[in-house]
Amino acid sequence: MGRRRLRERLREAVAIDFPVDEWAKEEGIAEEEIRERVTKSADDLYAEKRQRFTPEITMQVEKAVLLQTLDQLWRDHIVTVDQLRQVIHLRGYGQRDPLNEYKTEGYNLFEAMIAKLRETVTAQLMRVEIQTRPSEDMLPDEDDLPMMSVHHLDPLTGEDEIGGMPIFASAGEEEGEVQTKLDPKNPASWGRVGRNDPCPCGSGKKYKHCHGALV
């Protein structure tokens, strides 16, 4: 395998771009030493990732990736073996025992599936990144939220039917304090009132049929 191809295969398998060209320039470097460097670098990288995400979470991810990959590869293996069974009798024309050929081919296919399982799971785990949700302590408190209101415009008249109904009171302003500012006898204290809301004067009529008709 050439240096370029080796570098690409290592990048695919363990998601690390190794300096293969620099290694090739070293005098006396052997295949076993390259294998040890690759193994150590991959082990160190995954150990750091495992520690960063905690071993408990990493173990759950490993199980999920392994089971999902095994399920897919096993399905493919069953299909391949079934296709082999349908054509293995043709080996008899070449003076070979179809049963022995089927056993040999089946074993080789199973070994190839296991090798593919190891490579695929390793490649996925080396690339996986876990995103954790913020805890409740890190979420903003409701009192820290800015004042917000909801509006609904009448598609025919363009008027605001809800009139900016408050959703959250601003910091230091409780709901009861907002309501005490409304004086039924003083329209100036009512703020914006929705056309279909009860009139703040206490008449029981809709605002548009009471004081809103005077606006």
Per-residue pLDDT at 136: 53
pLDDT of res. 169: 42
For residue 31, the model assigns a pLDDT of 84
Tell me the CA distances in angstroms from 3 to 7, 20, 29, 42, one per residue in order.
6, 6, 14, 19
Cβ partners under 8 Å of residue 182, min gap 6 = 189, 190, 191, 200
pLDDT surpasses 90 at 71: yes
Residue 72 has pLDDT above 90, yes or no: yes
- Residue 201 CB contacts under 8 Å (≥ 6 apart), including other chains: 184, 185, 187, 210, 211
More confident residue, 55 or 79: 79
Give 132 or 149, the one with higher predicted confidence: 132
Query: Radius of gyration (Cα) for the chain, nearest Å?
Result: 36
Does the pLDDT value for residue 80 go beyond 90? yes
The C-alpha atoms of residue 50 and residue 57 are separated, in whole angstroms, by 8
Residue 100 scores a pLDDT above 70: yes
Query: Which pLDDT band, with edges at 50, 70 and 90, does 211 fall under?
Result: confident
- Token pair listed for 97: 């025992």
10 or 27, which is more confident?
Answer: 10
Share the mean pLDDT of the chain. Answer: 78
Helix axes 31-53, 98-127, angle to 10 degrees: 60
Residue 118 has pLDDT above 60, yes or no: yes
Q: Which pLDDT band holds residue 181 (cuts at 50, 70, 90)?
A: low
Q: What mean pLDDT is predicted for residues 105-120?
A: 95
* Residue 200 CB coordination number (10 Å): 19
Going along the chain from its start, the domains and CATH numbers come out as 1-53 (no CATH), 54-130 (1.10.3060.10), 146-214 (no CATH)
